[in-house]
Amino acid sequence: MPAPVTLLVHGGAGTLTRANLSPAQELEYRDALGQALRAGQSLLLRGASAVDAVVAAVSVLEDCPLFNAGKGSVFTHEGRNEMDAAVMDGATGQAGAVAGVVSVRNPILAAQAVMQQSGHVLLIGQGAEAFAQSQGLAMEGPEYFHTAHRWQQLQAALAHQQVMLDHDGQHPQGQPEPIDRKFGTVGAVALDAHGHLAAATSTGGMTNKMFGRVGDSPLIGAGTYACDATAAVSATGSGEFFMRGVVAHDIAARMAYGGLSLAEATQATVRDKLDATGGRGGVIALDRHGHYQLAFNTEGMYRGVVQGQAEPQISIYRD
C-alpha cells in the first residue's frame, strides 16, 4: 500500500514554553502553521509535486510577519533585511537557492526559479535579485519588510552588542521586552502521490548579523536536503553548527551508508552534530514511506504535520 501524501512544516525552534506565549499569541502561530499545511496539502491531494507543495507551504510562512522569513525577517547590523532560501527535489537531485536578497517578496520562489530556470544552484545578492526580477517575481521595497517588532529586536541587540537568534528567551506573556531570540527559520518537507520527496527552507538569519552573513538554510546539505532514496530534511537553529556538521545531509548519509531508519538517523545526527558541539535547533525529516521526525534539542519548536486528507496536527512545546 503506498504511503499517504505527507507534509511537515516548521517555524523555528528555541525557548518556547507556555510562559512565553499568551493564548492569543499561541493561536496566531497555530493558525499560521495550519494555513501553511493546508496550502501544501491541497496541492498534494490534487496530485501536485512535492516541490510545489513545499514551496507553497513556505510561501505562506514567508508572508506572515510572525516568522523570521520574508515579510517577518530580522535586521542586519546595518538595519537591512537580508534573506536566504533553498529548495531541493528528491526525485531529480536538482536544487536551487538564493542568499542575501533584500527585495524579493518570496525568496523561496526565487530559489525555485534558480533550480528550474537558471542552470545553477546558488545565486547571491544583486545577481539573485536581477534574476528574480527577470523571472517576473514580486519585488518589494524596504518598507514591506520593516516590522516594528523586528526593529525593536535590532535596537536591543545593538544595545547589548550581541548577535541575537530570533525569539529565544522571548518575553513572558507579551511583556514589552524586545529581545526575541528564537531560531525563526521556516521550512517544509513533503512526500507526493508519486513517491517523491522535496525540502524547502527560508530565513532572515540572525538579528544584528554581519553584512553578508549567510547561514545554513540556502546551503544544500546543511540546512536543506532531499533524496528519494533516503530523506527530505529542513533545519532550523544556530546555522554555523548546521553548516559545520552538514546536518541535513548527515541524516540522509546515515540512512544510505549505515542502514539506519529515519528515526535512528535523525536522533544520531542531533546527538552527534548538535548536542555534542553545543548547537541548538531542530529538523523536520521525512522518508518515502511516510515516516517522519520532528526533532529538536530546544524547549520547543513551531511544527506541524498533515497526512492524506487528515486534519493538520500542530505543536509548539516539547510536551
Largest distance between two CA atoms of the chain: 58
Burial class for 141, CB neighbours closer than 10 Å (0-12, 13-18, 19+): exposed
* Run of H or E including 200: strand 197-203
- pLDDT value, residue 289: 98
Question: Amino acid identity of 246?
Answer: V
Distances (CA, A) of 246 to 214, 219, 242, 253, 316: 15, 9, 6, 10, 25
Burial class for 167, CB neighbours closer than 10 Å (0-12, 13-18, 19+): buried
- pLDDT value, residue 204: 93
- pLDDT value, residue 152: 84
- Alpha carbon distance 172, 187 (integer Å): 26
Q: What is the pLDDT along the chain (319 residues), one digit of tens a residue?
A: 789 999 999 999 887 888 878 899 999 999 999 999 999 999 999 999 999 999 999 999 999 999 999 999 998 888 899 999 999 999 999 999 999 999 999 999 999 999 999 999 999 999 999 999 999 999 999 999 988 888 788 788 788 776 655 544 344 444 433 344 556 799 999 999 999 999 999 999 888 888 899 999 999 999 999 999 999 999 999 999 999 999 999 999 999 999 999 999 999 999 999 999 999 999 999 999 999 999 999 999 999 999 999 999 999 998 7
**201 catalytic, yes or no?**
no
How are the residues of the chain apportioned to helix, strand and coil, as percentages rounded to the nearest 5? 35, 25, 40
Indicate which residue of 15, 17, 92, 185 is catalytic: 185
User: Could you give the domains of the chain?
Assistant: 6-317 (3.60.20.30)
- Alpha carbon distance 164, 308 (integer Å): 38
Instruction: Dump pLDDT digits (tens) for 9-24.
Output: 999 988 788 887 889 9
Q: What is the full DSSP assignment across 250-287?
A: HHHHHHHHH---HHHHHHHHIIIIIGGGT--EEEEEE-
- Alpha carbon distance 319, 311 (integer Å): 20
- Extended beta strands in 71-147, E state: 83-89, 95-101, 122-124
Nearest CA to 88 among 226, 207, 206, 209?
226
- Extended beta strands in 59-141, E state: 83-89, 95-101, 122-124
Instruction: Dump pLDDT digits (tens) for 33-45.
Output: 999 999 999 999 9
Instruction: Dump pLDDT digits (tens) for 151-184.
Output: 788 788 788 776 655 544 344 444 433 344 556 7
- pLDDT value, residue 171: 42
- pLDDT value, residue 163: 65
Cα three-residue angle 316-317-319, rounded to 5 degrees: 130
- pLDDT value, residue 169: 37
- pLDDT value, residue 165: 55
- pLDDT value, residue 159: 86
